[in-house]
A and B are shown apart, each in its own frame.
Chain A
Amino acid sequence: MSRLDASNVLLAREIIARYPRPKSAMIPLLHLSQQQNGHVTNEAMEHIAELIGVTPAEVLGTCSFYEMFKREPVGRYMVNICTNISCQLLGGEELLHHAEETLGIKPGGTTEDGLFTLEDVECIAACTEAPCLQINYRYENRVSLGRFDEIIAEVRGGKRADVPTHGTLARIRQHIDPDRLAGIEPPEVAGVPPWFASRQDEAKEETA
Chain B
Amino acid sequence: MTSVEPTEAVTGIPFVLNGTAVEANEGELLIEACERNGVHIPRFCYHNRMKPVGMCRMCLVEVDGGRGPALQPSCMLPVTPDMKVETESEPTKKAQDGVLEFLLANHPLDCPVCDKGGECPLQDNAYAFGAGETRFVEEKRHYEKPIPISDLVQLDRERCILCDRCTRFASEVADDPLIHFIDRGSQTQVNTFPDHPFSSYFSGNTVQICPVGALTATPYRFKARPWDLDAIESTAAADTSGARVVLQASQNELVRTLGVDSEAVNWSWLSDKDRFYYEATNSPDRVTEPLIRDGGELKPTRWGNAMRAAARALRIDPERVAAIGGARLTLESQYAWAKLLKGVLGTDHVDAQLGDSLPAALTLGLPRTTIAEACAPGQIIVLMGPDPKEVAPTLYIRLRHAVVEDGATLIEITPRATSLSKYATLRLQTAPGTVGQVLSALADGQLDTNVGTVQAPELERAHQLLTGDRQVSVVFGRANLAESARYSADALGGMRRLVPNAGYLPLLRRSNIHGALEMGLTPGFLPGGARNRGGLVDKWPSTPEFEGHDTDAILKAAAQGEIDTLVLLGADPLGDFPDSTLAEAAFANIKTLIAVDGLLNTSSARATIVLPAALFGEEDGTFCNLEGRLSPIRAKVTPPGLARPDWVIAADLSHAIGPELGYTTLEELRSQMRATVPALDDVDWDEIDGADDGPLFRPERNWELEFGDPAQMPPTSSYGYRLVVDHKLWDLGTMSQHSASLANLAGPAVLRLSPNDIQLLDLADRQQVTVDLGEESWELPFVADPQVAPRTAWIPARLPGFDVRELLSAGRSITNLRLRTGEVPADVE
Contact = CB atoms under 8 A, between A and B. Distances in A.
A61 B181 contact: yes
A59 B178 CA distance: 10
Interface in A49-71: 54-61, 64-65
Interface string B162-186: 0000000000000011111111110
A57 B179 contact: yes
Most buried by B among A46, A58, A61, A65: A61
B177 A57 contact: yes
Contact of B183 (A46, A56, A64): A64
B185 A60 contact: no
Contacts of B193: 42, 45-46, 55-57, 59-60
B180 A60 contact: yes
A58 B198 CA distance: 12
Contact of A57 (B178, B183, B184): B178
Given A57-B179, A58-B177, A65 B194 contact: no
A56 B193 CA distance: 6
B419 to A, nearest CB: 14
Contacts of B179: 57
Contacts of B181: 61
Residue of A42, A55, A59 with most chain B CB atoms under a 10 A cut-off: A55
Interface in B472-492: none
Contacts of A60: 180, 182, 191, 193
A142 B543 CA distance: 101
Nearest to A59: B193
B185 A57 contact: no
Nearest to B193: A56
A57 B177 CA distance: 7
Contacts of A58: 177, 180
A45 B183 CA distance: 15
A54 B185 contact: no
Q: Is chain A's interface secondary structure helix, strand, loop, or mixed overall?
A: helix
A42 B184 contact: no
Contacts of A65: 183-185
A26 to B, nearest CB: 12
Contacts of B178: 55, 57
B197 to A, nearest CB: 10
Interface in A72-88: none
A55 B184 contact: no
A56 B180 CA distance: 10
Nearest to B184: A65
A45 B193 CA distance: 9
A55 B182 contact: no
Contacts of A42: 193-194
A86 to B, nearest CB: 23
B192 interface: yes
* Interface residues on chain A, size class: 10 to 19
A64 B188 CA distance: 10
Interface string B182-225: 11110000011110100000000000000000000000000000
Contacts of B185: 65
A119 to B, nearest CB: 15
Contacts of A56: 193, 196
A65 B185 CA distance: 7
A123 to B, nearest CB: 16
Nearest to B183: A64
Nearest to B176: A55
Contacts of B196: 46, 55-57
Nearest to B196: A56
Interface string B708-726: 0000000000000000000
A64 B184 CA distance: 7
Contacts of B180: 55, 57-58, 60-61
Contacts of B177: 54-55, 57-58
A59 to B, nearest CB: 8
Given A55-B177, A57-B177, A64 B182 contact: yes
Interface in A125-144: none
A54 B181 CA distance: 15
A60 B234 CA distance: 40
A65 B182 CA distance: 7
Interface string B416-438: 00000000000000000000000
B194 A61 contact: no
Nearest to A54: B177
B156 to A, nearest CB: 18
A54 B193 CA distance: 12
Nearest to A42: B194
Interface in B383-399: none
Nearest to B181: A61
A83 B183 CA distance: 23
Interface string B71-86: 0000000000000000
A42 B194 CA distance: 8
A40 B200 CA distance: 26
A61 B177 CA distance: 11
Contacts of B184: 61, 64-65
B659 to A, nearest CB: 61
Contact of B192 (A45, A54, A57): A57
Contacts of A45: 193
Contacts of B182: 57, 60-61, 64
Interface string B563-589: 000000000000000000000000000
Nearest to B198: A57
B722 to A, nearest CB: 28
A5 to B, nearest CB: 18
A126 B180 CA distance: 35
Contacts of A54: 177
Of the candidates A42, A46, A56, A59, the one having the most CB atoms from chain B within 10 angstroms of its own CB is A56
A57 B180 CA distance: 6
B178 to A, nearest CB: 5
Contacts of A59: 193
A58 B184 CA distance: 12
A60 B184 CA distance: 10
7 contacts: A46-B196, A55-B178, A56-B196, A57-B191, A60-B182, A61-B184, A65-B183
Q: Which 3 pairs of residues, A with B, have the shortest CB-CB distance?
A: A61-B180, A56-B193, A57-B180
Given A56-B196, A57-B180, A58-B180, 4 more contacts: A55-B178, A58-B177, A61-B182, A61-B184
